Chains A and B, each alone.
Chain A
Amino acid sequence: MSAVTIIRSKTEQAILALFAKHKDQLQGQGSFGSQRAKAFASFEQTGLPHRRIEAWHYTDLRSLLREAPPLAAKPASHVVQRAAEKNWSTDQIDATRLMLVNGFYDESISSFTMPQGVKVTDVYKALSDPSSKNFHDHIGQATQSSDPLIELNTAFMNGGVVIEIASGTKLDKPLELRCLVEGIDPVSMHARILVIAGDDTEFTLIESHQGPDALSYQVNNVVELFLGNNAHVHHVRLNQSGNYAVDLSTLAAVVGAETSFNTFHMVNKPGIARHQVFVKMQGEGAHLSVNGVNMLNGTQHADTTLAIDHAAPACTSRELFKTILDAQATGVFQGKIMVKQIAQKTDGKMMSQAVLLSDDAKMNNKPELEIFADDVVCGHGATCGALDEDLLFYLMARGLPKAEAEALMLAAFAGEAIETVENEDLRAILEAVVGDWLGQRAHHVE
């Protein structure tokens, strides 16, 4: 047999060139340098994931990523200044704010003081500072799997933020992490966010993403969450990246005993999006709730991939995902519940529902169960279809124009998932985003 030649796509070649060019300039050359090299070697071996890889069957990055834009540089002061003036849909919320511009944490435009018990470290500095022990101890620990996005992030990571929350800290104001992309040239970003929370903590973390329209930039963020025992944590991710953006994100969490963790994410703008959620329930009696709404139009492609690992007894998990698809949009939902042998008394329930508003839209659902314990209650459901004609007729018979009747039904459809968000103000914001999206659509329909 002749030697195997790996055929690389143009984008893959560009990524290889990027790494060769930057690897000696990225922060943290010493011990972290070898971690980077290892991660990149692993990426080099697999290349960009494609449809023959089971976990990427419906989101073929090799064909979706047409280019590999240059890495974003630390923003200049005038860019930071412009960033400070942006409006955000979360402006009305009273929160402690942390600002990331092009993947780099900027203290000057973040909240002036941090609440007691909260410590923030810039990943850019921590990378080359061996005394940032918590950062070096935790990085890469929330996920064991060799995921190509995480590997790529580890290889290119140069910025981000570490948030440490001391045991017993209860925050009355949410923490908001604002990730802004600012500029006129396409760039790629690989920020890493670490949240290390001790026992008995209570907080809400908002992650907002915004970027310019008509600019084909790429984001590949990884958030690692370490939650201690008996904590109560809410996390909401609002993705309003630009309409040409490729937004890849991974949330990897380790959940302690008796801790409740609730995460919600909404996608309505980016051209291509994949949101991965990997949760390991490693303490007994933890409760997890993962929910989301994707509203897609045009040729958008959005993928939500979950892997929930029940590794301790008596944990519960609930997942509810709603997808609304119009025009030629493609939706993907892959959800996997794994129940280890030790995880007796597990209670898991997963639901994915999709509404297709156009004959050109596509929805791919893959809810999976992998169970090794015998005393568990686990279930999943998936539905897919058009709006109910009878209900539509009922509303129209009562005088509502078609577009409005549809909007009403769709708002209710998405609303079911939004209801899982506890914070009232956040819920209102999410509902407003849904309202705007439906409004634009109605305008379009008429």
Chain B
Amino acid sequence: MAAVQDTIDQVKAIDVDQYKYGFSTELEVDKAPIGLSEDIVRLISAKKNEPEWMLEWRLDAYRRWLTMREPEWARLDYPKIDFNEIYYYAAPKMNAAPQTLDDVDPAILETYKKLGIPLREQEILAGVQTSKVAVDAVFDSVSVATTFKAELAKAGVIFCSISEAMREHPDLVRKYLGTVVPVTDNYYATLNCAVFTDGSFVYIPKGVRCPMELSTYFRINERNTGQFERTLIIAEEGSYVSYLEGCTAPQRDENQLHAAVVELITHDDAEIKYSTVQNWYPGDKDGKGGIYNFVTKRGDCRGKNSKISWTQVETGSAITWKYPSCILRGEGSRGEFYSIAVSNGRQQVDSGTKMIHLGKNTTSRIISKGISAGHSQNTYRGQVSAHRKATNARNFTNCDSLLIGDQCGAHTVPYMEANNASAIFEHEATTSKISEDQMFYCQQRGLDAEEATALIVNGFVKDVLQQLPMEFAVEAQKLISISLEGSVG
């Protein structure tokens, strides 16, 4: 069955030539010299006023990175990246660290306004939005503003840029940084360790339910720069936080590199919900320009009954190489992964998840929907494994994909490794799972088969999208009614 017209129209509406965030902002910038060397690493560390141990950590990572090779196993095809043609540090010129928003360059504030990200608290409060979102705005290599810090501090929540955390809360950073994604985890993660410039740090103390949604908005603005951010979120026993991440970049002919690392840690009974709407510039319709997105995201459920949930809507980037994963270490912990990846133009997506079951009674759920159109390639790559001691581990995986047009490709590469008998893994990649009962019910009420399928499948996709917090739902709205009739596994 081929895709229905509705779906085709909706995917067209977000095609690569419809990219809305492609403007750039003219600013005076403070840039490090082009290229990568130990001196650049030292320079970044110095710019950030980092403690000595941090510099050592970076240099160690850099030396290790030099001995590593780029991974080539993904179904991605792109010219070799010249790591010496990239600026590793670019920051808008500011007199000193901005104390209030008034110190921030109005052009930057204007940029965020254009993107629909409010940074002034009074504006947010005066606005029509009913719920509050605290935002950490990262512009190229630096965090320019973090809102609602005072209010969050009242609840004991620490929400700041990671550079600030290194200065203000060095013990926490030192205790957790690099414990989920080790320095030598992979080529891009190691590079990130050496040159990361900013990112967000979140610490939720014991028993606290974070009073508002936290979010980081990443914007790449400068030419030829790479963005290397690092996010670290720690949820202490019994706490809860919902964190959102958004990203855009100007329309340029060159490819820009984005290599981030995100580490999540949950202790007993804690929960982190991490949502992403990734909308980096995807390149033009001939595949010129666009962001290379090589991201390592991993959560570690350390405590009993803890939970980490990843939700992602991926529409941007020329290349996406991203596998948000969960290490289910604590007894009874749970990992979830919900993803919708839409590729258009010449985009290439190789994305999925890993669920590593180590503890007893751990459960995981993977729902992935891939839609490819144009000349794009969309691959789901996922791994589910149960350790010998992970008795009663349970996983359910469902990944569907849909092709629009005959020039694109959809691929599924799941790996399932069961090392004990009580682990139950189920993987399915078909749409035939729509129950006949539901179909019968709908058809009995006068819907034809296609309408009925659309209704049921849409209900299902909505389920995924509803995992997104309200504030992001708007961006994801365009995709909401995409139906998946004619899906293939």
Bound together: yes
Binding site for B on A (CB under 8 A): 54, 341, 344, 349, 354, 356-386
Chain B residues within 8 Å of A379, by CB: 428-432, 488-489
Cβ–Cβ < 8 Å partners of A375 in chain B: 1-2, 486
Interface string of B380-417 (1 = CB under 8 A from A): 00000000100100000000010111111111111111
Does B409 lie within 8 Å of A384, measured CB to CB? no
- CB under 8 Å from chain A, chain B span 1-19: 1-3
- CB B259 to nearest CB in A, in angstroms, measures 24
| Min C-beta distance of A176 to chain B, whole Å | 36
CB contacts (< 8 Å) of B425 on chain A: these are: 365, 382-385
Task: Check A365–B427 contact: CB distance below 8 A.
Answer: yes
- A363 touching B418, Cβ below 8 Å: yes
Q: Which of A360, A363, A374, A383 has the most CB of B within 10 A?
A: A374
A377 CA to B487 CA, complexed, in Å? 7
B414 touches A366 (CB 8 A): yes
Could you mark each residue 196-227 of chain B with 1 if its beta carbon is under 8 Å from any beta carbon of chain A, else 0?
Answer: 00000000000000000000000000000000
Q: Determine which residue in B406, B407, B431, B488 has the highest number of CB atoms from chain A within 10 A of its CB, and name it.
A: B488
Structural contact, A373 and B403, CB atoms closer than 8 A = yes
0/1 per residue, B1-44, Cβ < 8 Å to A?
11100000000000000000000000000000000000000000
B381's nearest neighbour on chain A, judged by CB, is A368
Whether the pair B415, A381 counts as a contact (CB closer than 8 A) is: no
A-B interface, 4 closest residue pairs, ranked by CB to CB distance from nearest: A379-B430, A356-B421, A385-B424, A374-B403
**Bound-state Cα–Cα, A344 to B2, Å:** 10
Bound-state Cα–Cα, A378 to B432, Å: 10
Q: Which of B416, B422, B429 has the most CB of A within 10 A?
A: B416
B428 touches A356 (CB 8 A): no
Nearest CB in chain B to that of A341: its residue: B406
In the complex, whether B419 has a CB less than 8 A from a CB of chain A is: yes
In the assembled complex, how far is the CB of residue B10 from the closest CB belonging to chain A, in whole angstroms?
A: 16
Kindly list chain B residues whose C-beta atoms are within 8 Å of the C-beta of A354. Answer: 418
**Could you list which residues of chain B lie within 8 angstroms of chain A, going by C-beta atoms?**
1-3, 73, 388, 391, 401, 403-432, 486, 488-489
Judging by beta carbons under 8 Å apart, are A369 and B427 in contact? no
**Is the beta-carbon distance between A369 and B488 smaller than 8 angstroms?**
yes
Whether A382 contacts B427 in the complex (CB less than 8 A), given A363-B418, A364-B415, A365-B416, comes out as: yes
Partner of B489, one of A359, A363, A378: A378
CB pair A377 B488 closer than 8 Å:
yes
Contacts of A341 in B (CB 8 A): 406-407
Provided the pairs A365-B427, A384-B425, A385-B423 are in contact, do residues A376 and B488 lie with their beta carbons within 8 angstroms? Answer: yes
Q: With a CB–CB cut-off of 8 A, which chain A residues contact B3?
A: 374
Q: Report yes or no: B489 in contact with A374, Cβ–Cβ below 8 A.
A: no
Are the C-beta atoms of A369 and B405 separated by less than 8 Å?
no
Report whether A380 and B429 are in contact in the complex, using a CB–CB cutoff of 8 Å: yes
Decide: B412 and A384 in contact? CB cutoff 8 A: no
Instruction: Output the nearest chain A residue to B430 by Cβ-Cβ distance.
Output: A379
Determine which of A349, A358, A366, A377 lies in contact with B416 in the assembled complex, contact meaning CB atoms within 8 Å: A366
Q: How far is the CB of B46 from chain A (nearest CB, A)?
A: 33
Contact among B407, B408, B416, B421 for A382, CB-based, below 8 A: B416
Contact among A362, A370, A377, A381 for B418, CB-based, below 8 A? A362
Task: List the A side residues contacting B417 at CB < 8 Å.
Answer: 362-365
Contact A368 B2 (CB under 8 A): no
Chain B residue nearest in CB terms to A362 = B419
Q: Known: A377-B488, A381-B427, A385-B423. Is A371-B403 also a contact (CB below 8 A)?
A: yes
Residues of A within 8 A of B406 (CB): 341, 344, 372-374
Residues of B within 8 A of A376 (CB): 488
Which B residue sits closest to A370, measured CB to CB?
Answer: B411
Q: Give me 12 other A-B pairs in contact (C-beta within 8 A), A364-B415, A371-B409, A386-B421 excluded.
A: A341-B407, A356-B421, A367-B427, A370-B409, A371-B411, A371-B488, A372-B409, A376-B488, A377-B1, A378-B489, A381-B429, A384-B425
In the assembled complex, the Cα of A386 lies from the Cα of B418 at a distance in Å of: 11
Q: Check if A383 sits within 8 Å of B423, measured CB to CB.
A: no
A315 CB, nearest partner CB in chain B, Å: 15
- One of A357, A359, A367, A378 near B488 (C-beta < 8 A): A378
Residues of chain B within 8 A of A364, CB atoms compared? 415-418
Closest chain A residue to B379, Cβ basis = A370
Q: Are B404 and A374 in contact (CB under 8 A)?
A: yes
Query: What is the CA–CA distance of A94 and B428 in the complex, to the nearest angstrom?
Result: 42
In contact, B416 and A380 (Cβ under 8 angstroms): no
Residues A384 and B1 in contact in the complex (CB < 8 Å), given A365-B427, A370-B411, A373-B403: no
Residue in B closest to A374 when the chains form the complex, CB atoms: B403
Q: Is the CB of A384 within 8 A of B488?
A: no
Contact A369:B415 (CB < 8 A) given known A359-B421, A381-B428 = no
CA distance in complex: A57, B414 (Å): 13
Chain A nearest CB: distance from B360 CB in Å? 13
Given contacts A380-B429, A383-B425, A386-B422, contact A368 B412 (CB under 8 A): yes
The verdict on A359 contacting B416 (CB below 8 Å), with A370-B411, A379-B430, A383-B426 known, is: no
Given A374-B2, A381-B427, A382-B427, the answer on whether A366 and B415 have CB atoms closer than 8 Å is: yes
Task: Output the nearest chain A residue to B426 by Cβ-Cβ distance.
Answer: A383
Known: A369-B488, A381-B429. A356 touches B2 (CB 8 A): no
Among residues of A, the one whose C-beta sits closest to the C-beta of B415 is A366
A360 neighbours in B (Cβ, 8 Å): 388
- A359 touching B388, Cβ below 8 Å: yes
Report B122 CB to chain A, min CB distance, Å. Answer: 51
On whether A358 and B488 interact (CB within 8 A), knowing A364-B416, A366-B416, A371-B410, the answer reads no
Known: A54-B73, A374-B405, A379-B432. A368 touches B420 (CB 8 A): no
B residues near A349, Cβ cutoff 8 Å: 430
**Residues on the B chain within 8 Å of A361, using CB:** 421
Q: Which residue of A lies closest to B2 (CB)?
A: A375
Q: Using CB atoms, name the residue of chain B closest to A379.
A: B430
Closest B residue to A375 by beta carbon equals B2
Nearest-CB residue, chain A, relative to B73: A54
Q: Which residues of chain B come closer than 8 Å to A374, judged between CB atoms?
A: 2-3, 403-406, 408, 486
Complex: how many Å from CA A74 to CA B388? 47
Taking the closest CB of chain B, its distance from the CB of A305, in whole angstroms, is 14
B412: which of A359, A362, A380 is its contact (CB, 8 Å)? A380
14 contacts between A and B (CB under 8 A): A54-B73, A361-B421, A362-B417, A363-B416, A364-B415, A365-B416, A365-B418, A367-B427, A374-B486, A379-B431, A380-B428, A383-B424, A383-B425, A384-B418
A54-B73, A365-B427, A369-B489 known; A384 and B413 CB under 8 Å? no
A361 to B429 Cα, complex, angstroms:
26
